[in-house]
Structure formats: structure tokens, C-alpha cells
């Protein structure tokens, strides 16, 4: 056997340090190829690291909550490979950019650490593929335990009295007959009501922490719809929010400035003091947008996809960028770089702080594709699984402050971008239509722009174009 000291890698974003958030293994655990063994937090995101080796964990070198530099050994593994076969230095293979990561953004894991869905693939083609088949080893004695018959006794039910419909797993040795028969009694006392929900709806419920058995189904066949899940999640959120917590016993709480919060502070200061901001606002009648969203929700093409005003706002931004390309640009000291593609950033509030992932090449997406991309982006951000590559290369950003009940605001530019547009809450207000005051769905669209790149006329035309789509989505058919 040989000893491997696994160093903290540069996860491909040029960072110099990371915090150990959570160990997924302990000393003495056997670790397999591609198994996620630790969760780290960089200045941009939460990252799961997969193992490039198989063996037994002998030591964890860094405590949870501690920040260490890239290249610092964090784990010791006793591998199954003889020491003589390892002619290289006894460390995990690290390339110039860190671990060998795939060129395209990695897929997000959908299950546990042993499912092979690690965020990073740290070993490339190292090791024979056949080693993957040794996952999920059965614990010692597991077969004996499962096969153990019920404890003998005069009170044990005769085999002939147990129907195939009421068979339960055999009890472990030492279990009493009463304990063995109890599940059968409970199963017949109350009929099971099945939950009818499509796989995407079940995933959404899991992501939002919603118990489907508590959701009132409104679907045509008694199935649970997306709106049912979102309504249940919203109600739960409201009930949580109305509970006022007790005041802390301590007079002060000190929060270390590190990770995402440190990166946010640095970026906001840089943006606020380097780019001269100019902001504009306009009120918009969004009634037709709300009616359009209802039609989209009823369309089979959008089944299982979340539809919200953000989708129309995103399409409006892409359309307005095509008409006013200089808002989709970047300032350097020597030149202005106008981007002819739209990597649309969505400012997302997460438990770890504000992040701005972006939808790559949004200008090439259909409405359905964009809706699915926005939903995936939101769910990934909420789970804290947004990866660094997903937050790089943005060209213009939307901040949806309407979800917090805000009418408008003056957002700060995402560093490196020229424009950011805020979508306020959409609610019914009195509005003059054809000389008459009527209740209409009204919102406020505001935006901040880098005045070094765009002047007031361009800013005004761009925001007016966005507003025109929110007022009349049919313009997108042009």
C-alpha cells in the first residue's frame, strides 16, 4: 500500500484559498473512485471534491470551518496500489489549472456521494474503469442480519396465516412477536392514499422542501401540479416568516468576512467606485404579460416548467439588447468591447449570499428553452450548487426585486458589465386606459448603467424597449 496526501486543488477559477465546509468521510472509511469526500467553499461557490483514488482514509488534516491555501494537504489516503508502482510524487495529480476538469460545465449531482455525479472529475482517465463496480460494498454481516429468521416462540404466527399482501421483512434476531406483527396491524388500519405527481414535480417539491402528502392536488386527474407545490412552499415560507425569533442572549454577533460575503463586498466596492452609475425608472402596465403567462402555463409545451414574469423580462432584455447593443458591453481602459451574444445574469439571493449566475448564449434560446434554463439556474442557486463557471462571462444582468415585494431600486452593476435592470413587484393598481381609470397589473422597471459606456439617450431607449415588451409581449413575434 502507498500513502497519498491529497492537496486542496485550484478548482479552475484561479482562486488561492478555500474553506473546508463539511467532510463527507472519516478516518477508517473506505473511499472509492469519484466519491465526493469533502465540500469546500471558495470566494464564489460551494464545490464538492471527488476522490481521484481508492483506498482507506487514514487522516483528515484540516478541521471543518478552517480556510487553507490551494496546495495545502487536506487528506491522507492509504491506497490499494503498491508503493513501487507509484513512480510519481505522492500527491493527487494536479494540472496547472488545478484538477483536470472537463471543458464544459460539469453536471450537478442528483444523488449521494456514491452515485458518481461529482461536480469535478479529478482524475481524468486514471485507473481502470472496472474499479467503479466496487461501489456500495455490503457491510460485514449484512446478509446474515437480513436472512435471520424471527425468534422462535409459541406466540409467533403460523406461516399459513400470513397472506402475500401482508408479508413484512423478517425481524432481526431477538425481536418480539408483537414487534414483528405490529406493522401489519398499522397497515390495515388506514388505507394508503397515493400521491400522483410527475417526476419534475417531485423534484421541485424536494428542492423546495415540500412534503407532497400535505399538498392539495388540483390537477385534472387528481395529480399535484407545479402551482400546487409552489403554493404550499409559499404558505410554509409565510408561516415561518411570521414567527418572530427570541432575541439572542449575547449582546453582539460577530460574523467573519470570508467566502462569498468577502467576494460580494470586494465586487460591490469596486463597481460602485469605479463605474459612474446612472439610473432610470419607468412604470409599466403589465396586464398583458400576466395574461400571456396564463396561456403559457396552460400550454402542454410548458408542462413541468416554472413560468413567471422573469421569463418575459428575460426575453424583453434580449430583444432590447439587439436594438441597443452598447448596453451589452464591457469597459476597459483602452476600449469598449460590445458583445454580440447575451450571457444573461440573474441576481440570486441564496443562504450563502448574493450570487449572479448567467444563462449562456440566451439569445439563441427559444421561450421554452429559456424557461427551463432559468428554472435550473434558480434551483441550482437555491441548493448552493452554482459552480464558478456558471457565474463567469456574464454580459448584462436582471435583478428581480419584485419577489421581495419591492417596487423598484437602484442596483449596483455586476463588475465587468455595463447594465443591470431591476424588475419590481407586479400588483394591481388604478391605471388610466382610454381615458378611464381601471384596475391593471402594474410594475416598475428600473436600471443602472455605466455612464462611461452609454449616455442617457441609449439608457432611456433601452429601458423603454424592455418596458414595451412587458406592456405588449406580442412584440416578441417581430
- Best CA proximity match to 399, nearest among 385, 417, 383, 387: 417
Tell me which residues are annotated as active site: 451
Q: DSSP 3-state assignment of 77?
A: strand
DSSP 434-465: TTEEEEEEEEEEEEEEETTT--HHHHHHHHHH
Distance CA 92, CA 86 (A): 11
Which CA distances in Å does 450 have to 275, 279, 345, 421, 433? Answer: 6, 9, 16, 12, 35
Residue with cell 429559456: 370
Distance CA 281, CA 406 (A): 14
C-alpha cell of 260? 462569498
Cβ contacts of 100 within 8 Å, gap of 6 or more: 93, 121, 122, 123, 124
Q: DSSP 3-state assignment of 348?
A: strand
Amino acid at each position: 500500500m502507498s500513502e497519498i496526501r491529497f492537496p486542496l486543488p485550484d478548482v479552475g477559477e484561479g482562486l488561492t484559498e478555500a474553506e473546508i465546509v463539511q467532510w463527507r468521510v472519516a478516518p477508517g472509511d473506505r473511499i472509492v473512485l469519484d466519491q465526493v469526500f469533502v465540500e469546500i467553499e471558495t470566494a464564489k461557490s460551494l464545490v464538492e471534491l471527488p476522490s481521484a483514488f481508492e483506498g482507506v482514509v487514514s487522516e483528515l488534516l484540516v478541521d471543518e470551518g478552517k480556510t487553507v491555501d490551494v496546495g495545502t494537504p487536506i487528506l491522507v489516503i492509504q491506497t490499494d496500489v503498491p508503493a513501487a508502482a507509484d513512480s510519481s510524487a505522492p500527491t493527487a495529480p494536479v494540472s496547472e489549472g488545478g484538477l483536470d476538469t472537463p471543458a464544459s460545465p460539469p453536471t450537478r449531482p442528483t444523488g449521494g456521494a456514491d452515485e458518481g455525479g461529482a461536480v469535478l472529475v479529478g482524475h481524468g482517465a486514471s485507473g481502470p474503469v472496472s474499479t467503479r463496480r466496487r461501489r456500495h460494498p455490503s457491510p460485514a454481516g449484512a446478509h446474515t442480519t437480513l436472512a435471520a429468521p424471527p425468534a422462535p416462540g409459541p406466540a409467533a404466527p403460523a406461516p399459513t396465516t400470513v397472506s402475500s399482501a401482508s408479508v413484512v421483512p423478517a425481524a432481526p434476531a431477538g425481536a418480539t412477536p408483537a414487534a414483528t406483527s405490529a406493522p401489519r396491524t398499522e397497515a390495515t388500519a388506514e388505507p394508503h392514499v397515493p400521491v400522483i405527481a410527475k417526476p419534475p414535480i417531485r423534484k421541485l417539491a424536494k428542492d423546495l422542501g415540500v412534503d407532497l402528502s400535505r399538498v392539495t392536488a388540483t390537477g385534472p386527474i387528481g395529480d399535484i401540479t407545479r402551482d400546487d407545490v409552489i403554493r404550499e412552499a409559499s404558505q410554509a415560507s409565510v408561516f415561518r416568516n411570521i414567527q418572530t425569533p427570541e432575541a439572542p442572549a449575547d449582546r453582539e454577533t460577530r460574523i467573519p468576512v470570508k467566502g462569498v460575503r468577502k467576494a460580494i463586498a470586494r465586487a460591490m466596492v469596486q463597481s460602485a467606485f469605479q463605474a459612474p452609475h446612472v439610473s432610470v425608472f419607468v412604470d409599466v402596465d403589465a396586464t398583458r404579460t400576466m395574461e400571456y403567462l396564463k396561456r403559457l402555463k396552460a400550454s402542454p409545451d410548458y408542462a413541468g416548467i416554472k413560468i413567471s414574469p422573469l421569463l418575459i423580462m428575460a426575453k424583453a432584455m434580449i430583444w432590447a439588447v439587439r436594438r441597443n447593443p452598447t448596453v451589452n458591453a464591457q469597459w476597459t481602459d483602452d476600449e469598449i468591447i460590445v458583445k454580440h451574444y447575451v450571457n444573461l445574469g440573474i441576481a440570486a439571493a441564496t443562504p450563502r449570499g448574493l450570487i449572479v449566475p448567467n444563462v449562456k448564449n440566451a439569445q439563441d434560446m427559444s421561450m421554452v428553452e429559456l424557461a427551463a434554463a432559468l428554472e435550473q439556474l434558480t434551483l441550482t442557486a437555491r441548493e448552493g450548487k452554482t459552480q464558478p463557471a456558471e457565474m463567469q462571462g456574464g454580459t448584462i444582468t436582471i435583478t428581480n426585486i419584485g419577489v421581495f415585494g419591492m417596487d423598484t431600486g437602484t442596483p449596483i452593476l455586476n463588475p465587468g458589465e455595463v447594465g443591470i435592470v431591476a424588475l419590481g413587484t407586479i400588483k394591481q393598481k388604478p391605471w388610466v386606459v382610454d381615458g378611464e381609470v381601471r384596475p391593471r397589473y402594474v410594475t416598475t422597471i428600473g436600471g443602472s448603467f455605466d455612464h462611461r459606456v452609454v449616455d442617457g439617450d441609449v439608457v432611456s431607449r433601452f429601458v423603454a424597449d424592455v418596458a414595451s415588451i412587458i406592456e405588449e409581449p406580442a412584440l416578441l413575434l417581430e
